[in-house]
A and B are shown apart, each in its own frame.
Chain A
Amino acid sequence: MRPATDAIHVPGTFGSAWHVPENHLCLTPNPQSKTSHPYWAQRVDRLKAPDAPPEALNLNVAGRRAVGPLQGFGQLWQKTFCIRLVGASVTPAEVIAEWKAELPRFKPAESRFYPSPGGIARGEEVLINAWTPGGPIATGVVVLYADDESFTLMTPEGHPESGWVTMSAYVEDGVTVAQVQGLARASDPIYELAFRAMGSRLQDTIWEHVLTELAAHFGVKGQPVEVDRWLLDPKVQWRRAGNIWHNAQIRTILYQLAAPIRWVRRVLRRD
């Protein structure tokens, strides 16, 4: 029997028409919807090596694909963190401009962010060197989208998460609010285990730190970070278990363990 087809109209980004047959759903965007070409990065098959200072460990970004939640392994979470900038006379655009310019300043002490010379602009990359309970990790993100009031980072293969995180600012009840919203899965089974054990809480701490530092930058202190966690898909994607091949933490640890071998090779080449 052929499934029945119904049509409904819903508002949203695409201003769409939806057909809802029994076994599938067909979404049709409104052709009148606004476009925003200048803000989106071009798709690149493989990321380039980001420019980084000599002290940075520039690993696990060059040659990787940028991946979203569909390419990840673990449960799909949407996490939203926001802080109200009470008493600060700043517009959302001013908040985002400072956030882009000073991104490395707001990070936790155990992490280093190295934005490429183009800064936080579409297609640019940010190299990340961090120390976690599981050891060191060198990875990065690519700027998927950037406008005056928001920007979105996308992860490369091997990053602990596979997905997007959007920093934005908006006005609510006369107060400017800064927000971080992540939509991601753990990239592979090892990361998924780590997130379930303690990584998820650690990640929450990182974003709470970033927002608290951002607020302090605008002279706001004592405001709580509100957190909303939403498990969108409790299932893991076993077909993505092979992502473990690109695991940036394992590769970073192996790279560091192999430092003596690289040193011997350099010495032999000199001779």
Chain B
Amino acid sequence: MRLEALLRSQGRRLAITGLNDHHRRVFRATGLDEGIRIYETEAEAVEALQGGA
């Protein structure tokens, strides 16, 4: 949450990659998956974010 707020205040975005099943469940349970972008791989994340997605 600190990172998300800090980055957003700087006009930057946070993406998370490589989550295992447990981490995905935690992100879903906490509602973090609704505001933080999640990608399978770093390459996908970088491509998506650099592409303005």
Contacts and interface: CB of A to CB of B under 8 A. Distances in A.
Q: Do A and B come from one complex?
A: yes
A233 B14 contact: no
Given A66-B31, A68-B31, A70-B34, A28 B17 contact: yes
A112 interface: no
B14 A19 contact: no
Interface residues of A, number: 38
Contact of B50 (A3, A40, A144): A3
B25 to A, nearest CB: 6
Q: Is the interface of A mostly helix, strand, loop or mixed?
A: mixed
A43 B29 contact: yes
A22 B11 CA distance: 10
Nearest to A69: B1
SS class of chain B's interface: helix, strand, loop or mixed? Answer: helix
A68 B32 contact: yes
A49 interface: no
A178 to B, nearest CB: 23
Given A69-B1, A70-B32, A183-B1, A14 B13 contact: no
Interface string A230-271: 001101000000000000000000000000000000000000
Given A35-B22, A68-B32, A144-B30, A23 B46 contact: no
A170 B36 CA distance: 31
A125 to B, nearest CB: 14
A10 to B, nearest CB: 10
Contacts of A154: 30-31
Q: Which 5 A-B pairs have the closest CB atoms?
A: A70-B35, A233-B5, A35-B22, A68-B31, A24-B49
Given A25-B14, A78-B2, 17 more contacts: A5-B46, A21-B50, A22-B12, A24-B12, A24-B15, A25-B7, A26-B16, A26-B39, A26-B45, A35-B22, A40-B29, A67-B31, A70-B1, A70-B31, A232-B5, A233-B5, A233-B8
Interface of A: 2-3, 5, 14, 19, 21-29, 31, 33, 35-37, 40-43, 66-71, 76, 78, 144, 154, 164, 183, 232-233, 235
